[in-house]
Structure 1
Amino acid sequence: MSVTERVIYEQFPFWRKAIELELPPLPAKTLVFVGCGTSYYLSQSLAAAFNLAGRPAVAVPGAEWIFNRRAYVGERTDVCVVGLSRSGESTETVRAIRESVAAGIDTVAITCAADSAIAKAADQTIFAATHAEEGIVMTSSASLMLLVGLRWAGVSVAEATVAAAEQALREMAAKAPGIIEGRSHFVFLGGGALYGLASEGALKLQEMSITYSQAFHPLEYRHGPISLVDDRTLVVLLYGEETREAEERVARDVQSKGARVIGFGGAGDLSLPIGESGLGRMLIMLPALQLLGEEVARAKSIDTTQPRHLTKVVTLS
């Protein structure tokens, strides 16, 4: 078992601690979630979660908030910028927080590093301790930032959520090797709050296994990208509770063209039951998505502790 895989399996005690964290009060403003890479995709899911909870929110990549802020919020100043950064040192996200503070905008940091640049710069900080051996690829820390963000949005996260995530992870470990055999084209589909999670699943696979992958909204996939589907395709479909019937039609469509399907919470060649309703379902899906990247990497004899061209912290001059 690689260090990356072990950290995926050992993340749940950190979840249990994060469930008990005291969170700051929500500001009565539009929330702007900023981040880079994994943190940006988590921001997409969190912004959707807040919108669904009746609190307006938008997700913006860190550099976009620095250089193109008006394209996302116009001239509005009644916003609170929430920066997500595992290390608290990612150049664009830290700068986005600092420039927001300088502009008189409220800021909150969500990080796994208490004594970091982003924690020092933001008005308030939500800190969730992560696994000490986590390497370049974000696994435990990504789950933790999603967890505290969902709790902040009012989503209940309990022991049953942790248990369901552990079960989905075990099922992925047991059945993924047979499903991925012979597959080289990977597609991740998710709608609404699950779109950010689908994008994160695609990113994990790229980072860990050096394999090209894509993410789309489920029904949008038919509008052009489906032309690439063949008997080397694996589609990972994150089913929405209210859209399952329509998304199952997409699953059958790609299967008829040769694809295999892993269905989270719905039909597939491998169907992983989620066992929970509501936005907490995202937490149940995430560790299994992380492990899928590890399984594809193992099939290609790639060491996930040394992903190509990547560093643990992206700092730019």
Structure 2
Amino acid sequence: MTRGILTLPEIGGQAEALSAAWEQLKQQQSWVNKYIGNAEYDEVVFIGSGSSYYQAQVMATTFRVWLGRSASALPSSDIFLFRDQSVARGRKVLLVGVSRSGESSEVILALDSVKELANWTTCGITCYETSRLGVMAECLVSPLGKEKSTVMTKSFSSMTYMMQAAIASAAGSAHFSEMESVLALQGDVVVHGKGFAESLVEENAFNKYIYLGMGAYYGLGQEVCLKLKEMSYVWTESYGTLEFRHGPKSVIEPGTLVCLLVSEQARAYELKVAEEMKAYGAFVLLVTTAGGADTSFADAVFEIGGGSLSDEARAVLYLPLLQYLGFYTAMKKGVDPDHPRNLTQVVTI
């Protein structure tokens, strides 16, 4: 069988990719000081397309919380097509391009569109140092984020982690220590997530999939929703956890999987939503630091650990299980997660 031979080891290689990103960041401390650690910017805007846009959301959230400075995340196209609607004029802006390949047309067009503007500075993060992005702007580079499969898995994790580690470096020792702790946990969630996801898919038949998350996990929820859709072509959506109750919950019925990325900051509120969905007939999967009496109602609980860490620092720990969920759903359906229909690694326009 040749289906999935690229994607499976790339999901499994995340711990090594994060470790390599951590070591690479040590060599790029001058980049951190020049860009992320530079307080002269009024606004830091992280941009990307598709999965890279969802990374940008996690990065911007982490930046705001850990550095207490203004940051936002936008689709790349908003900058070169709707810049004045997206970013207030007259601000001193750092534009951070996010692209696995460094070749995404929209990221390149966005950075190129501001190069003559006096108040705009550009930089980026990629997995390919010789890409167009890598050449036109100074970039952080995730050395083991390179992938052969179409969908982003270890590239997403390692780039997100690397940017968060850069933000932590600028923020101070406490957050930097948190990012080091994540390295010690990632290997376990990769190993345990594989078997958990495989059994979950084998033992159940779902016809709808809903992902819920808040804060830094809102972008993650969008990303894992996309992973399932890309790999297996199933009907799936993602929402802010409490926002899901305002109308969208009408789609819940038996056969619906509701996967909640549980934060510690809003845990009690989020679990109330999950209990409500369970009462409507959904199969509830909780991804959380640890199970307990408050999670006993759920159909499945996957523990990632790291309860002493901030919600932002734990972000990449949520990904392996849910990437595997997409992979094994595709395999069960008989489709190839390595080469999804209609998709390419690099999107050009």
Q: TM-score range by the shorter chain?
A: over 0.9
Identity, in percent, stands at 34
Partner Cα separation in structure 2 for residue 239 and residue 137 of structure 1:
24
Of residues 179-188 and 218-227 in structure 1, the stretch that sits farther from structure 2 once superposed is 179-188
Query: What does residue range 1-317 of structure 1 map to in structure 2 within 5 Å?
Result: 2-20=5-23, 21=25, 22-23=28-29, 24=31, 25=33, 26-28=37-39, 29=41, 30-53=43-66, 54-104=68-118, 105-122=120-137, 124-154=138-168, 155-156=175-176, 158=179, 160-180=181-201, 181-265=204-288, 267=295, 268-276=298-306, 277-278=309-310, 279-316=312-349
In the superposition, the TM-score normalised over structure 2's length comes to: 0.86
Q: What amino acid does structure 1 have at the position aligned with 2:304?
A: I
Partner Cα separation in structure 2 for residue 171 and residue 125 of structure 1:
33
1:85·1:110 contact (CA, 8 Å) conserved in 2?
Answer: yes
- Deviation of the 1:40 alpha carbon: 0.2
In the superposition, the TM-score normalised over structure 1's length comes to: 0.94
Partner Cα separation in structure 1 for residue 151 and residue 256 of structure 2:
24
Unmatched 5+ residue regions in structure 2?
169-174
- Deviation of the 1:274 alpha carbon: 2.2
SS in structure 2 opposite 1:153?
Answer: helix
Deviation per CA, 1:209-234: give whole Å up to 9, x if none. Answer: 11121111111111111111111111
Partner Cα separation in structure 1 for residue 58 and residue 259 of structure 2:
17
- Deviation of the 1:158 alpha carbon: 4.7
Partner Cα separation in structure 2 for residue 35 and residue 144 of structure 1:
15
2:16·2:144 contact (CA, 8 Å) conserved in 1?
Answer: no
Q: What amino acid does structure 2 have at the position aligned with 1:68?
A: F
Partner Cα separation in structure 1 for residue 211 and residue 221 of structure 2:
5
Partner Cα separation in structure 2 for residue 262 and residue 100 of structure 1:
43
Unmatched 5+ residue regions in structure 1?
none
Cα root mean square deviation, aligned: 1.6
Partner Cα separation in structure 1 for residue 214 and residue 146 of structure 2:
33
Of residues 264-273 and 136-145 in structure 1, the stretch that sits farther from structure 2 once superposed is 264-273
Deviation per CA, 1:156-187: give whole Å up to 9, x if none. Answer: 35554234223223333223344342102011
Q: What amino acid does structure 2 have at the position aligned with 1:138?
A: M
SS in structure 2 opposite 1:59?
Answer: strand
Q: What amino acid does structure 2 have at the position aligned with 1:291?
A: Y
Aligned length: 315
Partner Cα separation in structure 1 for residue 180 and residue 44 of structure 2:
28
